Structure 1
Amino acid sequence: MKFMCTVVVDTDIAARQSEADWARIGQLSKAYDQALVERGVFIAAEALVSADSARTVRVRNGDAIITDGPFAESKEVLAGFILVDVADADAAMEIARHIPMATLGAVEVRPVMLF
């Protein structure tokens, strides 16, 4: 089963990180992704740049409304994702609990919808 582990970062915690802290979490994240590749469960992972760079599109009555910034003001912002293919939800949760960025916020785990 495919699961999306969506990583959100608490902006207050993120603001307290030094450049060295960010470098370390980046190294840990790359190493963790590689470990998932070696286990054969890794599909994809990407980190996102700051939410300040986001643009949001809403379509209403056929018209696109484009605004700068994330879709909502929030203390937690989307930071990236890891997509995995594992046996079940328990296996996905085990992966999520070891995602290095989880120390800066949270990881939401959801099954990918099958059509």
Structure 2
Amino acid sequence: MKFALLYHYDPSTAGPVEEEVADWMAFDGQVREAGLLVDEAGFHMRDKALTVSVRDGESTVTEGAPTSGPMLAGYYLLDVADMDTALEWAARIPTAAYGSVEVRPVVEFEFEG
């Protein structure tokens, strides 16, 4: 089963530190060595984002993303046996120590054609 591990933190209260790099490298190596990694990415800060909304058929693009509260910093997409296993891996993501990691099962559609 595939699970998205979405890691968030609130930059107004805490954030990554230089010493964390070794923890990230270790986590990344472990998840790859276990053969569970489907995809992963970290995101630039929210001031680099563009936000699109459509109202009444009209598309609007604004600079940045919402600036209050936790921000989505990145994700891992893992293929693991079950939710319990996904939760175990989520707890190992360094951001969990000062932010949070949301774990969501991924809907996998099967298309005919």
After TM superposition, the score normalised by the length of structure 1 is: 0.86
Output the amino acid matched with 1:9.
Y
The RMSD of aligned alpha carbons is 1.4
* Counterpart check, 1:32 vs 2:31: no
Cα deviation, 1:45-66, whole Å, max 9, x if unaligned, reads 1111111211100122332101
Structure 2 segments unaligned to the other structure (5+ residues):
none
| CA deviation after TM superposition for structure 1 residue 76, in Å | 0.6
**Preserved CA contact (<8 Å) 1:4 1:82:** yes
Return the structure number with greater helix share.
1
Q: Partners of 1:73 and 1:52 in 2: how far apart?
A: 8
Q: Partners of 2:57 and 2:85 in 1: how far apart?
A: 42
**Preserved CA contact (<8 Å) 1:5 1:96:** yes
Q: Partners of 1:3 and 1:112 in 2: how far apart?
A: 5
After TM superposition, the score normalised by the length of structure 2 is: 0.87
Q: Report % sequence identity.
A: 38
- Number of aligned residue pairs: give it: 108
